[in-house]
Chain A
Amino acid sequence: SQTIHQWPATLVQPVGSPLSLECTVEGTSNPNLYWYRQAAGRGLQLLFYSVGIGQISSEVPQNLSASRPQDRQFILSSKKLLLSDSGFYLCAWTIGVLGVGSPLHFGNGTRLTVT
C-alpha cells in the first residue's frame, strides 16, 4: 500500500533562517505531488504542485520554493523565513487526473513557527 512521510513534525525557526521540509511517497510510481499551507481559519492554500521530476508549478508567488529531485521526493525550501511563513504545511499526492475520482492523500503535516 502507498504511504506518505513528511518531516519534521514540528519546527521552530528564527526569522531570516533557511527552511527545508521533506516529503516522500512509497508504494507508487510517478505520483503528482503537492505542497499546501494551512493557516488558522483560512483553509488550505495550494503552494506548489509537480507532475514529474524537475517539473514544479507555483500557485502563489512568495519566498518559498519547491524541488523534486527524485520521483517520489518533494522538498519545500526557503532561503530566508518571514514571520508570515508560520503555519501548518501539508504534503499530498495523487495518481492520475486530480479530482476525477482521484483524491488527494495527505501526509501528517509540519507545524512551522517562525519567531
Chain B
Amino acid sequence: AQSVTQLDSHVSVSEGTPVLLRCNYSSSYSPSLFWYVQHPNKGLQLLLKYTSAATLVKGINGFEAEFKKSETSFHLTKPSAHMSDAAEYFCVVSDPGRYGGSQGNLIFGKGTKLSVKP
C-alpha cells in the first residue's frame, strides 16, 4: 500500500539557518511527489513537485527537494530560513496505480510544523 511519512511533527530553526523537513514514501509505482505549505487558516500552496524528471526539484521561496529512489525519500530543504517560512508543510505522494484516471489518489503526510526563531 502507498504511504507517506513525515518524520518530524515539529521542527524549530533560527532565522538564517538551514531548514530540513524529512519525508519518506512507499509506493508500488513511480510516484509523483509534492510539497505543500499551509499558513494558519489558509489553504495549501504548492511549493514544488517531482514527476520523474530531474531528481533535484526547485520550488518557490528558495525551497528545493531531492528525490532519492534508493532511500525512498523526498526531503525538503532551504539554505536560510526566514520568519515568513513559519508554517505547516505537507509531503504528498500520488500513485496512479490505485485508480488511474483523475480520481482522488493523493496521500498526504500528517504535516510538519516549522517554527522560525528570530
A residues with CB within 8 A of B:
6, 9, 32, 34, 41-44, 46, 49, 51, 57, 59, 88, 90, 92, 94, 96-101, 103-109, 111
Contacts and interface: CB of A to CB of B under 8 A. Distances in A.
A44 to B, nearest CB: 4
A110 to B, nearest CB: 10
A43 B49 CA distance: 19
Given A99-B105, A105-B46, A108-B43, 5 more contacts: A90-B43, A94-B102, A97-B100, A99-B94, A111-B41
A96 B45 CA distance: 19
Chain B at the A interface: SS class: loop
Interface residues of B, number: 27
Given A32-B102, A59-B104, A104-B106, A98 B94 contact: yes
A107 B45 CA distance: 9
Contacts of B32: 99-101
A29 B31 CA distance: 26
A6 B96 CA distance: 28
A97 B106 contact: no
Nearest to A107: B43
B110 interface: yes
12 contacts: A44-B44, A51-B102, A92-B44, A94-B102, A98-B94, A98-B105, A99-B95, A99-B105, A100-B94, A105-B46, A106-B36, A109-B41
Given A41-B110, A97-B96, A98-B104, A108 B90 contact: no
A57 B110 CA distance: 24
B25 interface: no
B43 A100 contact: no
A31 B101 CA distance: 13
Given A49-B104, A99-B96, A100-B51, A43 B110 contact: yes
Contacts of B69: none
The CB with the most chain B CB atoms within 10 A, among A41, A94, A97, is that of A97
B42 A109 contact: yes
A43 B111 CA distance: 7
Interface in B15-71: 31-32, 34, 36, 41-46, 49, 51
